[in-house]
Amino acid sequence: MDKAFSDQLNMSLSDLLAAQTGLHFPAERWRDLARGIAAAAPAFGMPDAESCARWLLSAPLTRHQIEVLANHLTVGETYFFREKMSFEALEQHILPQLIRMRASERRLRIWSAGCCTGEEPYSVAMLLDRLIPDQQDWNITLLATDLNPAFLRKAAAGIYGEWSFRDMPDHLRQRYFKQRKDGRFEILPLIRKRVVFACLNLAEDSYPSLLTNTTAMDVILCRNVLMYFSPAWVEKIAQNFHRSLIDGGWLIVSPAETSNSLFPQFKATAFPGAVFYRKTQAAEPPADVTGFSVSPLAAVDPLDLLTPRPATLRMPEAVMPVPTQSVAAGPVASLESVSGHPANQDERAAFSRAAHACANQGKLAEAIGWCEKAIAVDKLDPATHYLLAAILQEQGENDRAAQALRRALYLDPDFVLAHFALGNLRLSQGQPREARRHFDTAQALLQTHSQDEILPESEGLTAGRLGEIIASVRRNLPHATAASG
Ligand SMILES: C[S@@+](CC[C@H](N)C(=O)[O-])C[C@H]1O[C@@H](n2cnc3c(N)ncnc32)[C@H](O)[C@@H]1O
Protein backbone atom coordinates (compact mmCIF):
# COMPACT_ATOMS: atom_id res chain seq x y z
CA MET A 1 0.00 0.00 0.00
CA ASP A 2 2.73 2.50 0.91
CA LYS A 3 4.97 1.54 -2.00
CA ALA A 4 7.50 4.31 -2.61
CA PHE A 5 6.74 6.84 -5.35
CA SER A 6 9.26 7.70 -8.03
CA ASP A 7 11.62 10.56 -7.13
CA GLN A 8 9.93 12.69 -9.76
CA LEU A 9 6.50 12.12 -8.25
CA ASN A 10 7.80 12.76 -4.74
CA MET A 11 9.39 15.99 -5.88
CA SER A 12 6.26 17.24 -7.62
CA LEU A 13 4.11 16.38 -4.62
CA SER A 14 6.45 18.07 -2.14
CA ASP A 15 6.54 21.18 -4.33
CA LEU A 16 2.74 21.29 -4.50
CA LEU A 17 2.35 20.80 -0.76
CA ALA A 18 5.04 23.34 0.05
CA ALA A 19 3.38 25.94 -2.16
CA GLN A 20 -0.16 25.46 -0.89
CA THR A 21 0.14 24.22 2.66
CA GLY A 22 3.70 25.09 3.65
CA LEU A 23 4.17 21.45 4.67
CA HIS A 24 7.78 20.52 4.11
CA PHE A 25 8.66 17.08 2.76
CA PRO A 26 12.39 16.84 2.08
CA ALA A 27 13.71 13.57 0.61
CA GLU A 28 14.19 11.99 4.03
CA ARG A 29 10.45 12.29 4.65
CA TRP A 30 9.25 10.92 1.32
CA ARG A 31 8.19 7.63 2.88
CA ASP A 32 5.95 9.57 5.30
CA LEU A 33 4.57 11.43 2.35
CA ALA A 34 3.71 8.24 0.45
CA ARG A 35 2.16 6.76 3.59
CA GLY A 36 0.03 9.86 4.14
CA ILE A 37 -1.16 9.93 0.52
CA ALA A 38 -2.00 6.20 0.70
CA ALA A 39 -4.03 6.84 3.85
CA ALA A 40 -5.84 9.77 2.23
CA ALA A 41 -6.63 7.95 -1.04
CA PRO A 42 -9.88 6.28 0.13
CA ALA A 43 -11.26 9.63 1.33
CA PHE A 44 -10.82 10.91 -2.24
CA GLY A 45 -12.33 7.77 -3.77
CA MET A 46 -8.96 6.86 -5.28
CA PRO A 47 -8.01 3.20 -5.68
CA ASP A 48 -4.36 3.56 -4.67
CA ALA A 49 -1.69 6.00 -3.53
CA GLU A 50 -0.10 6.57 -6.90
CA SER A 51 -3.30 7.42 -8.76
CA CYS A 52 -4.27 9.63 -5.83
CA ALA A 53 -0.92 11.45 -6.06
CA ARG A 54 -1.31 12.00 -9.82
CA TRP A 55 -4.87 13.19 -9.39
CA LEU A 56 -3.80 15.68 -6.70
CA LEU A 57 -1.15 16.99 -9.04
CA SER A 58 -3.58 17.52 -11.89
CA ALA A 59 -4.85 20.90 -10.60
CA PRO A 60 -4.25 23.32 -7.72
CA LEU A 61 -5.40 21.81 -4.44
CA THR A 62 -8.89 22.72 -3.30
CA ARG A 63 -9.67 23.63 0.26
CA HIS A 64 -11.35 20.26 0.76
CA GLN A 65 -8.28 18.42 -0.53
CA ILE A 66 -6.05 20.45 1.80
CA GLU A 67 -8.26 19.60 4.76
CA VAL A 68 -8.17 15.87 4.00
CA LEU A 69 -4.43 15.90 3.35
CA ALA A 70 -3.81 17.85 6.55
CA ASN A 71 -5.52 15.07 8.42
CA HIS A 72 -3.11 12.48 7.10
CA LEU A 73 0.12 14.44 6.76
CA THR A 74 0.35 16.27 10.09
CA VAL A 75 0.81 14.84 13.54
CA GLY A 76 -1.72 15.79 16.16
CA GLU A 77 0.63 15.38 19.06
CA THR A 78 0.04 17.71 21.98
CA TYR A 79 -0.82 17.78 25.68
CA PHE A 80 -1.73 20.19 28.44
CA PHE A 81 1.11 22.40 29.72
CA ARG A 82 3.51 20.88 27.20
CA GLU A 83 7.01 22.29 27.66
CA LYS A 84 6.48 23.27 31.28
CA MET A 85 9.23 25.85 31.42
CA SER A 86 7.56 27.87 28.68
CA PHE A 87 4.33 27.92 30.66
CA GLU A 88 6.27 28.93 33.77
CA ALA A 89 7.78 31.85 31.89
CA LEU A 90 4.33 32.81 30.69
CA GLU A 91 2.81 32.52 34.15
CA GLN A 92 5.60 34.20 36.07
CA HIS A 93 6.84 36.87 33.68
CA ILE A 94 4.96 37.51 30.45
CA LEU A 95 1.34 37.44 31.58
CA PRO A 96 1.76 39.27 34.92
CA GLN A 97 3.62 42.04 33.11
CA LEU A 98 0.94 42.32 30.43
CA ILE A 99 -1.81 42.29 33.03
CA ARG A 100 -0.12 45.11 34.93
CA MET A 101 0.35 47.13 31.76
CA ARG A 102 -3.28 46.70 30.80
CA ALA A 103 -4.74 47.36 34.23
CA SER A 104 -6.74 50.32 32.98
CA GLU A 105 -7.51 49.22 29.43
CA ARG A 106 -8.30 45.62 30.45
CA ARG A 107 -7.75 44.15 27.04
CA LEU A 108 -5.58 41.14 26.24
CA ARG A 109 -5.19 39.23 22.99
CA ILE A 110 -3.54 35.83 22.70
CA TRP A 111 -3.34 33.56 19.65
CA SER A 112 -2.43 29.89 19.64
CA ALA A 113 -1.47 29.24 16.00
CA GLY A 114 -1.37 25.52 15.22
CA CYS A 115 -3.41 24.69 18.31
CA CYS A 116 -4.08 21.10 17.27
CA THR A 117 -6.73 19.55 19.55
CA GLY A 118 -6.84 22.50 21.94
CA GLU A 119 -4.63 21.50 24.85
CA GLU A 120 -2.35 24.51 24.34
CA PRO A 121 -4.97 27.31 24.28
CA TYR A 122 -6.91 25.68 27.12
CA SER A 123 -3.70 25.59 29.18
CA VAL A 124 -3.35 29.33 28.60
CA ALA A 125 -7.02 29.82 29.54
CA MET A 126 -6.38 28.00 32.82
CA LEU A 127 -3.37 30.23 33.54
CA LEU A 128 -5.43 33.33 32.86
CA ASP A 129 -8.19 32.06 35.08
CA ARG A 130 -5.77 32.02 37.97
CA LEU A 131 -3.98 35.25 37.10
CA ILE A 132 -7.05 37.39 36.38
CA PRO A 133 -9.75 36.65 38.93
CA ASP A 134 -12.02 39.42 37.61
CA GLN A 135 -12.04 38.22 34.00
CA GLN A 136 -15.62 39.27 33.52
CA ASP A 137 -14.32 42.84 33.61
CA TRP A 138 -11.77 42.23 30.87
CA ASN A 139 -12.00 41.92 27.12
CA ILE A 140 -9.82 38.87 26.56
CA THR A 141 -9.40 37.24 23.19
CA LEU A 142 -7.97 33.75 23.16
CA LEU A 143 -7.92 32.71 19.51
CA ALA A 144 -6.87 29.18 18.56
CA THR A 145 -6.35 28.21 14.91
CA ASP A 146 -5.23 25.16 13.01
CA LEU A 147 -5.12 23.89 9.45
CA ASN A 148 -6.94 20.71 10.33
CA PRO A 149 -10.71 20.97 10.90
CA ALA A 150 -10.87 17.50 12.48
CA PHE A 151 -8.47 18.65 15.21
CA LEU A 152 -10.51 21.80 15.68
CA ARG A 153 -13.72 19.86 16.14
CA LYS A 154 -12.09 17.79 18.85
CA ALA A 155 -10.71 20.95 20.44
CA ALA A 156 -14.11 22.61 20.49
CA ALA A 157 -15.65 19.54 22.13
CA GLY A 158 -13.08 19.77 24.95
CA ILE A 159 -13.07 16.07 25.88
CA TYR A 160 -9.74 14.41 26.58
CA GLY A 161 -8.24 11.08 27.51
CA GLU A 162 -5.62 10.38 30.15
CA TRP A 163 -2.69 10.88 27.74
CA SER A 164 -3.42 14.59 27.28
CA PHE A 165 -2.74 15.10 30.99
CA ARG A 166 0.67 13.47 31.04
CA ASP A 167 2.42 16.64 32.19
CA MET A 168 -0.34 18.42 34.06
CA PRO A 169 -0.55 18.61 37.86
CA ASP A 170 -3.52 16.65 39.24
CA HIS A 171 -4.92 19.59 41.15
CA LEU A 172 -5.44 21.47 37.88
CA ARG A 173 -7.26 18.54 36.34
CA GLN A 174 -9.49 18.35 39.40
CA ARG A 175 -10.17 22.04 39.27
CA TYR A 176 -10.92 22.47 35.57
CA PHE A 177 -12.25 19.09 34.36
CA LYS A 178 -15.19 16.86 35.05
CA GLN A 179 -14.82 13.11 34.64
CA ARG A 180 -17.36 11.50 32.31
CA LYS A 181 -18.95 8.10 32.55
CA ASP A 182 -16.67 6.82 29.77
CA GLY A 183 -13.62 7.70 31.89
CA ARG A 184 -12.55 10.66 29.78
CA PHE A 185 -12.40 14.23 31.05
CA GLU A 186 -14.46 17.16 29.91
CA ILE A 187 -13.15 20.69 30.31
CA LEU A 188 -15.44 22.99 32.28
CA PRO A 189 -17.54 25.37 30.16
CA LEU A 190 -15.95 28.25 32.08
CA ILE A 191 -12.63 27.49 30.32
CA ARG A 192 -14.01 26.07 27.06
CA LYS A 193 -16.00 29.20 26.31
CA ARG A 194 -12.95 31.39 26.64
CA VAL A 195 -11.27 29.96 23.55
CA VAL A 196 -12.40 30.74 20.01
CA PHE A 197 -11.39 28.10 17.47
CA ALA A 198 -11.01 28.83 13.78
CA CYS A 199 -9.46 27.20 10.75
CA LEU A 200 -6.46 29.05 9.38
CA ASN A 201 -3.75 27.81 7.07
CA LEU A 202 -0.54 29.58 8.06
CA ALA A 203 0.86 29.06 4.58
CA GLU A 204 -2.08 30.12 2.48
CA ASP A 205 -4.35 32.43 4.40
CA SER A 206 -3.22 35.96 4.98
CA TYR A 207 -2.76 37.45 8.40
CA PRO A 208 -2.88 39.80 10.18
CA SER A 209 -6.47 40.41 9.20
CA LEU A 210 -9.35 42.01 11.00
CA LEU A 211 -11.78 39.52 9.60
CA THR A 212 -9.98 36.55 11.08
CA ASN A 213 -9.30 38.51 14.25
CA THR A 214 -5.53 38.09 13.88
CA THR A 215 -4.44 41.70 14.46
CA ALA A 216 -2.99 43.47 17.49
CA MET A 217 -1.99 40.33 19.38
CA ASP A 218 -0.09 40.54 22.68
CA VAL A 219 1.15 36.96 22.54
CA ILE A 220 1.33 34.42 19.72
CA LEU A 221 2.12 30.83 20.61
CA CYS A 222 3.22 28.86 17.59
CA ARG A 223 4.92 25.85 19.08
CA ASN A 224 5.89 22.61 17.38
CA VAL A 225 4.36 23.88 14.16
CA LEU A 226 7.18 25.70 12.40
CA MET A 227 9.13 22.45 12.33
CA TYR A 228 6.77 21.34 9.53
CA PHE A 229 7.88 24.24 7.33
CA SER A 230 10.97 24.96 5.27
CA PRO A 231 13.24 27.79 6.57
CA ALA A 232 11.96 30.10 3.82
CA TRP A 233 8.40 29.53 4.99
CA VAL A 234 9.35 29.99 8.64
CA GLU A 235 10.79 33.40 7.80
CA LYS A 236 7.65 34.36 5.93
CA ILE A 237 5.36 33.20 8.72
CA ALA A 238 7.50 34.95 11.35
CA GLN A 239 7.24 38.15 9.32
CA ASN A 240 3.45 37.87 9.31
CA PHE A 241 3.38 37.12 13.04
CA HIS A 242 5.51 40.22 13.57
CA ARG A 243 2.82 42.28 11.87
CA SER A 244 0.08 40.53 13.84
CA LEU A 245 1.71 41.52 17.15
CA ILE A 246 1.46 44.88 18.84
CA ASP A 247 4.66 46.63 19.88
CA GLY A 248 6.13 44.77 22.82
CA GLY A 249 4.16 41.61 21.92
CA TRP A 250 5.67 38.14 22.22
CA LEU A 251 6.15 35.25 19.81
CA ILE A 252 6.55 31.92 21.59
CA VAL A 253 7.96 28.95 19.73
CA SER A 254 9.02 25.62 21.19
CA PRO A 255 12.57 25.22 22.57
CA ALA A 256 13.33 22.97 19.59
CA GLU A 257 12.39 25.75 17.18
CA THR A 258 14.40 28.63 18.64
CA SER A 259 16.84 30.02 16.14
CA ASN A 260 19.38 32.80 15.89
CA SER A 261 18.67 33.37 12.25
CA LEU A 262 14.98 32.75 11.55
CA PHE A 263 13.45 35.55 13.61
CA PRO A 264 15.74 38.51 12.95
CA GLN A 265 13.01 41.12 13.38
CA PHE A 266 12.42 40.03 17.01
CA LYS A 267 14.52 40.50 20.12
CA ALA A 268 15.31 37.09 21.66
CA THR A 269 14.78 37.03 25.43
CA ALA A 270 15.92 34.11 27.57
CA PHE A 271 13.87 32.71 30.44
CA PRO A 272 14.80 29.59 32.42
CA GLY A 273 14.35 26.76 29.92
CA ALA A 274 12.81 28.92 27.19
CA VAL A 275 13.66 31.63 24.70
CA PHE A 276 10.83 33.92 23.60
CA TYR A 277 10.84 36.52 20.84
CA ARG A 278 9.70 40.05 21.46
CA LYS A 279 8.59 42.63 18.95
CA THR A 280 10.45 45.74 19.99
CA GLN A 281 9.31 49.21 19.17
CA ALA A 282 12.50 49.99 17.30
CA ALA A 283 11.83 47.25 14.79
CA GLU A 284 8.45 48.63 13.76
CA PRO A 285 7.90 51.80 11.75
CA PRO A 286 5.61 54.28 13.48
CA ALA A 287 1.94 54.26 12.66
CA ASP A 288 1.35 55.98 9.40
CA VAL A 289 -2.00 56.58 7.85
CA THR A 290 -0.58 55.69 4.48
CA GLY A 291 1.39 52.68 5.63
CA PHE A 292 -1.16 50.11 6.67
CA SER A 293 -0.41 46.61 5.69
CA VAL A 294 -3.45 44.64 6.48
CA SER A 295 -6.57 43.67 4.68
CA PRO A 296 -9.65 43.62 6.84
CA LEU A 297 -11.02 40.92 4.66
CA ALA A 298 -8.30 38.77 3.27
CA ALA A 299 -7.72 35.39 4.81
CA VAL A 300 -11.34 34.73 5.41
CA ASP A 301 -11.48 31.24 6.65
CA PRO A 302 -13.31 31.49 9.89
CA LEU A 303 -14.60 28.18 11.08
CA ASP A 304 -16.52 30.32 13.48
CA LEU A 305 -19.06 27.55 13.48
CA LEU A 306 -16.93 25.86 16.08
CA THR A 307 -17.04 28.58 18.65
CA PRO A 308 -18.56 31.85 17.67
CA ARG A 309 -16.91 35.22 17.76
CA PRO A 310 -16.84 37.58 19.54
CA ALA A 311 -13.94 36.26 21.41
CA THR A 312 -14.88 35.04 24.76
CA LEU A 313 -15.06 37.78 27.34
CA ARG A 314 -17.04 40.95 27.44
CA MET A 315 -15.96 44.41 28.34
CA PRO A 316 -18.02 45.88 31.15
CA GLU A 317 -20.24 48.77 30.21
CA ALA A 318 -17.91 51.08 32.10
CA VAL A 319 -14.98 50.52 29.75
CA MET A 320 -16.91 50.20 26.52
CA PRO A 321 -16.03 53.04 24.20
CA VAL A 322 -18.86 55.49 24.28
CA PRO A 323 -20.83 55.09 21.04
CA THR A 324 -20.59 58.27 19.08
CA GLN A 325 -23.13 59.63 16.66
CA SER A 326 -22.09 57.17 14.06
CA VAL A 327 -23.41 56.51 10.64
CA ALA A 328 -25.22 53.58 12.13
CA ALA A 329 -27.60 56.00 13.79
CA GLY A 330 -29.41 57.38 10.78
CA PRO A 331 -31.74 55.75 8.27
CA VAL A 332 -29.98 54.60 5.13
CA ALA A 333 -32.62 56.07 2.87
CA SER A 334 -31.78 59.57 4.00
CA LEU A 335 -28.13 59.34 3.05
CA GLU A 336 -27.24 62.13 0.77
CA SER A 337 -24.76 61.65 -2.02
CA VAL A 338 -21.51 63.47 -1.53
CA SER A 339 -19.24 60.76 -2.76
CA GLY A 340 -18.84 61.99 -6.31
CA HIS A 341 -16.22 64.59 -5.42
CA PRO A 342 -12.65 63.38 -5.92
CA ALA A 343 -11.47 65.48 -2.97
CA ASN A 344 -13.94 63.70 -0.71
CA GLN A 345 -12.81 60.37 -2.01
CA ASP A 346 -9.17 61.17 -1.29
CA GLU A 347 -10.04 62.27 2.19
CA ARG A 348 -12.17 59.21 2.75
CA ALA A 349 -9.35 56.97 1.53
CA ALA A 350 -6.89 58.64 3.93
CA PHE A 351 -9.31 58.24 6.86
CA SER A 352 -9.85 54.59 5.95
CA ARG A 353 -6.09 53.99 5.90
CA ALA A 354 -5.85 55.59 9.33
CA ALA A 355 -8.62 53.28 10.52
CA HIS A 356 -6.68 50.27 9.23
CA ALA A 357 -3.46 51.47 10.87
CA CYS A 358 -5.15 51.95 14.26
CA ALA A 359 -6.98 48.64 14.04
CA ASN A 360 -3.68 46.91 13.31
CA GLN A 361 -2.36 48.24 16.59
CA GLY A 362 -5.43 47.26 18.53
CA LYS A 363 -6.62 50.85 18.93
CA LEU A 364 -10.16 49.92 18.04
CA ALA A 365 -11.97 52.94 19.44
CA GLU A 366 -9.64 55.20 17.46
CA ALA A 367 -10.09 53.03 14.36
CA ILE A 368 -13.85 53.38 14.66
CA GLY A 369 -13.42 57.14 15.00
CA TRP A 370 -11.48 57.22 11.70
CA CYS A 371 -14.13 55.12 10.00
CA GLU A 372 -16.79 57.51 11.17
CA LYS A 373 -14.78 60.41 9.80
CA ALA A 374 -14.49 58.57 6.48
CA ILE A 375 -18.22 58.00 6.45
CA ALA A 376 -18.88 61.63 7.32
CA VAL A 377 -17.12 62.79 4.13
CA ASP A 378 -18.47 60.01 1.93
CA LYS A 379 -21.50 58.22 3.23
CA LEU A 380 -22.08 56.11 0.20
CA ASP A 381 -18.92 54.09 0.05
CA PRO A 382 -19.88 50.50 0.93
CA ALA A 383 -16.26 49.54 1.63
CA THR A 384 -16.03 51.94 4.58
CA HIS A 385 -19.15 50.49 6.19
CA TYR A 386 -17.67 47.08 5.62
CA LEU A 387 -14.40 48.10 7.30
CA LEU A 388 -16.33 49.60 10.20
CA ALA A 389 -18.20 46.31 10.56
CA ALA A 390 -14.96 44.33 10.74
CA ILE A 391 -13.61 46.59 13.49
CA LEU A 392 -16.87 46.57 15.44
CA GLN A 393 -16.92 42.81 15.25
CA GLU A 394 -13.42 42.63 16.63
CA GLN A 395 -14.60 44.79 19.47
CA GLY A 396 -17.43 42.38 20.17
CA GLU A 397 -20.13 44.80 19.02
CA ASN A 398 -21.92 42.34 16.81
CA ASP A 399 -25.21 44.19 16.55
CA ARG A 400 -23.54 47.36 15.35
CA ALA A 401 -21.35 45.29 13.05
CA ALA A 402 -24.43 43.69 11.50
CA GLN A 403 -25.97 47.12 11.05
CA ALA A 404 -22.85 48.37 9.26
CA LEU A 405 -22.84 45.30 7.01
CA ARG A 406 -26.49 45.81 6.15
CA ARG A 407 -25.63 49.35 5.19
CA ALA A 408 -22.80 48.14 2.97
CA LEU A 409 -25.25 45.76 1.30
CA TYR A 410 -27.90 48.43 0.90
CA LEU A 411 -25.33 50.52 -0.95
CA ASP A 412 -24.03 47.57 -2.95
CA PRO A 413 -26.31 44.51 -2.94
CA ASP A 414 -23.68 42.59 -4.93
CA PHE A 415 -20.95 43.07 -2.31
CA VAL A 416 -20.06 39.43 -2.02
CA LEU A 417 -17.67 39.75 0.93
CA ALA A 418 -20.27 41.66 2.93
CA HIS A 419 -22.74 38.82 2.39
CA PHE A 420 -20.10 36.36 3.51
CA ALA A 421 -19.20 38.45 6.57
CA LEU A 422 -22.86 38.84 7.53
CA GLY A 423 -23.33 35.09 7.11
CA ASN A 424 -20.46 34.46 9.53
CA LEU A 425 -21.78 37.03 11.94
CA ARG A 426 -25.25 35.44 11.92
CA LEU A 427 -23.64 32.09 12.53
CA SER A 428 -21.82 33.45 15.55
CA GLN A 429 -25.12 34.89 16.78
CA GLY A 430 -26.74 31.45 16.60
CA GLN A 431 -28.82 32.22 13.50
CA PRO A 432 -27.85 29.48 11.03
CA ARG A 433 -30.86 30.04 8.74
CA GLU A 434 -29.97 33.67 8.25
CA ALA A 435 -26.34 32.65 7.83
CA ARG A 436 -27.23 30.20 5.07
CA ARG A 437 -29.27 32.82 3.30
CA HIS A 438 -26.22 35.08 3.08
CA PHE A 439 -23.95 32.21 2.09
CA ASP A 440 -26.43 31.30 -0.66
CA THR A 441 -26.38 34.85 -1.97
CA ALA A 442 -22.59 35.02 -1.76
CA GLN A 443 -22.28 31.74 -3.66
CA ALA A 444 -24.75 32.90 -6.31
CA LEU A 445 -22.84 36.16 -6.73
CA LEU A 446 -19.58 34.28 -7.04
CA GLN A 447 -20.97 32.62 -10.17
CA THR A 448 -20.74 36.00 -11.86
CA HIS A 449 -16.97 36.15 -11.25
CA SER A 450 -14.31 34.02 -12.85
CA GLN A 451 -12.50 31.65 -10.48
CA ASP A 452 -9.25 33.59 -10.37
CA GLU A 453 -10.79 37.04 -10.23
CA ILE A 454 -9.68 39.00 -7.18
CA LEU A 455 -12.72 40.14 -5.22
CA PRO A 456 -13.18 43.84 -4.48
CA GLU A 457 -11.98 44.87 -1.01
CA SER A 458 -10.40 41.48 -0.45
CA GLU A 459 -6.76 42.40 -1.11
CA GLY A 460 -5.99 39.24 -2.97
CA LEU A 461 -8.79 36.80 -2.23
CA THR A 462 -10.02 35.17 -5.42
CA ALA A 463 -13.61 34.24 -6.18
CA GLY A 464 -12.60 30.57 -6.42
CA ARG A 465 -10.96 30.62 -3.02
CA LEU A 466 -13.91 32.31 -1.34
CA GLY A 467 -16.19 29.72 -2.95
CA GLU A 468 -14.09 26.97 -1.37
CA ILE A 469 -14.10 28.72 1.97
CA ILE A 470 -17.88 29.07 1.96
CA ALA A 471 -18.24 25.42 0.95
CA SER A 472 -15.94 24.48 3.82
CA VAL A 473 -17.89 26.55 6.34
CA ARG A 474 -21.14 25.02 5.10
CA ARG A 475 -19.75 21.50 5.33
CA ASN A 476 -19.13 22.09 9.00
CA LEU A 477 -22.52 23.60 9.73
CA PRO A 478 -24.68 21.27 11.82
CA HIS A 479 -27.61 21.24 9.38
CA ALA A 480 -26.03 22.80 6.36
CA THR A 481 -26.34 19.94 3.94
CA ALA A 482 -27.89 20.79 0.63
CA ALA A 483 -29.13 24.07 2.01
CA SER A 484 -27.72 26.04 -0.85
CA GLY A 485 -30.38 24.73 -3.21
C1 LIG B 1 2.39 19.03 16.81
S2 LIG B 1 0.99 20.02 16.69
C3 LIG B 1 1.38 21.31 17.81
C4 LIG B 1 0.32 21.57 18.83
C5 LIG B 1 0.67 22.57 19.92
N6 LIG B 1 1.00 23.85 19.38
C7 LIG B 1 1.78 22.06 20.78
O8 LIG B 1 2.88 22.59 20.77
O9 LIG B 1 1.54 21.10 21.50
C10 LIG B 1 1.22 20.79 15.11
C11 LIG B 1 -0.03 21.42 14.56
O12 LIG B 1 0.31 22.26 13.46
C13 LIG B 1 -0.74 22.23 12.55
N14 LIG B 1 -0.30 22.72 11.24
C15 LIG B 1 0.55 22.15 10.38
N16 LIG B 1 0.65 22.89 9.26
C17 LIG B 1 -0.16 23.96 9.43
C18 LIG B 1 -0.50 25.08 8.61
N19 LIG B 1 -0.02 25.23 7.39
N20 LIG B 1 -1.37 25.98 9.10
C21 LIG B 1 -1.89 25.82 10.33
N22 LIG B 1 -1.61 24.79 11.15
C23 LIG B 1 -0.75 23.86 10.70
C24 LIG B 1 -1.12 20.75 12.54
O25 LIG B 1 -2.41 20.55 12.00
C26 LIG B 1 -1.00 20.37 14.00
O27 LIG B 1 -2.21 20.49 14.66
Average pLDDT over residues 286-311: 31
Give the Cα separation of 357 and 255 in Å (integer): 33
| d(CA 179, ligand 1 centre) in Å | 27
Q: Tell me the best of 24, 87, 147, 253 to mutate to test the pocket of ligand 1, counting ligand atoms within 8 Å of each CB and taking the most.
A: 147
Closest CA to 150 of 249, 32, 264, 40: 40
Q: For the chain, give the mean pLDDT.
A: 82
The CA-to-CA distance between both ends of the chain, in Å, stands at: 39
Q: How confident is the model at residue 405 (pLDDT cuts 50, 70, 90)?
A: very high
Give the 3-state DSSP-derived string for the chain, with helices as H, strands as E and coil as C.
Answer: CCCCCCHHHHHHHHHHHHHHHCECCCHHHHHHHHHHHHHHHHHHCCCCHHHHHHHHHCCCCCHHHHHHHHHHHCCCCCCCCCCHHHHHHHHHHHHHHHHHHCCCCCEEEEEEECCCCCHHHHHHHHHHHHHCCCHHHCEEEEEEEECCHHHHHHHHHCEECHHHHCCCCHHHHHHHEEECCCCCEEECHHHHCCCEEEECCCCCCCCCECCCCCCCEEEEECCCCHHHECHHHHHHHHHHHHHHEEEEEEEECCHHHCCCCCCCCCEEEEECCEEEEECCHHHCCCCCCCCCCCECCCCCCCCCCCCCCCCCCCCCHHHCCCCCCCHHHCCHHHCCCCCCCHHHHHHHHHHHHHHHHHHHCCCHHHHHHHHHHHHHHCCCCHHHHHHHHHHHHHCCCHHHHHHHHHHHHHHCCCCHHHHHHHHHHHHHCCCHHHHHHHHHHHHHHHCCCCCCCECCCCCCCEHHHHHHHHHHHHHCCCCCCCCCC
Binding pocket residue ranges, ligand 1, CB within 6 Å = 21-23, 70, 74-78, 82, 114-116, 120, 146-148, 151, 201-203, 223-225, 228, 254
Residue nearest to atom 1 of ligand 1 (CA): 77
Average pLDDT over residues 426-435: 85
Residue 301 pLDDT > 50? no
Q: Tell me the best of 75, 90, 111, 146 to mutate to test the pocket of ligand 1, counting ligand atoms within 8 Å of each CB and taking the most.
A: 146
Residue 205 pLDDT > 60? yes
**Which CATH code of 3.40.640.10, 1.10.645.10, 1.25.40.10, 3.90.480.20 fits the domain covering 324-475?**
1.25.40.10
Phi, psi of 438 (to 5 degrees): -70, -35
CA distances from 91 to 81, 145, 303, 333, 434 (A): 11, 22, 29, 53, 42
Residue 393 pLDDT > 60? yes
| d(CA 37, ligand 1 centre) in Å | 18
Q: Tell me the best of 23, 69, 225, 253 to mutate to test the pocket of ligand 1, counting ligand atoms within 8 Å of each CB and taking the most.
A: 225
| d(CA 269, ligand 1 centre) in Å | 24
| d(CA 152, ligand 1 centre) in Å | 11
User: Which has the minimum average pLDDT: 127-131, 329-333, 334-338?
Assistant: 329-333
**Torsion angle of the four alpha carbons 281, 287, 291, 297, in this order, in degrees rounded to the nearest 10:** 90
Residue 201 pLDDT > 60? yes
pLDDT of residue 340: 53
CA distances from 452 to 59, 355, 466, 467 (A): 13, 29, 10, 11
Q: What is the pLDDT of residues 39-83, one digit of tens each?
A: 999 999 999 999 999 999 999 898 889 888 988 888 778 999 999
pLDDT of residue 92: 96
- Could you tell me the residue ranges of all domains in the chain? 7-73, 84-283, 324-475
Give the Cα separation of 243 and 445 in Å (integer): 32
Q: What is the pLDDT of residues 130-165, one digit of tens each?
A: 999 999 999 999 999 998 888 999 999 999 999 999
Q: How confident is the model at residue 479 (pLDDT cuts 50, 70, 90)?
A: low
CB-based contact 53:8 (threshold 8 Å): no
pLDDT of residue 361: 77
Residue nearest to atom 3 of ligand 1 (CA): 224
| d(CA 67, ligand 1 centre) in Å | 13
Residue nearest to atom 27 of ligand 1 (CA): 116
| d(CA 226, ligand 1 centre) in Å | 8
| d(CA 270, ligand 1 centre) in Å | 24
Atom of ligand 1 nearest to the CA of 78: 9
Q: Which long-range contacts (CB under 8 A, 24 or more apart) does 312-318 make?
A: 312/140, 312/141, 312/142, 312/193, 312/194, 312/195, 312/196, 313/135, 313/136, 313/138, 313/139, 313/140, 313/194, 314/136, 314/139, 314/396, 315/106, 315/107, 315/137, 315/138, 315/139, 315/396, 316/136, 316/137
Its CATH class, for the domain covering 84-283, is alpha beta
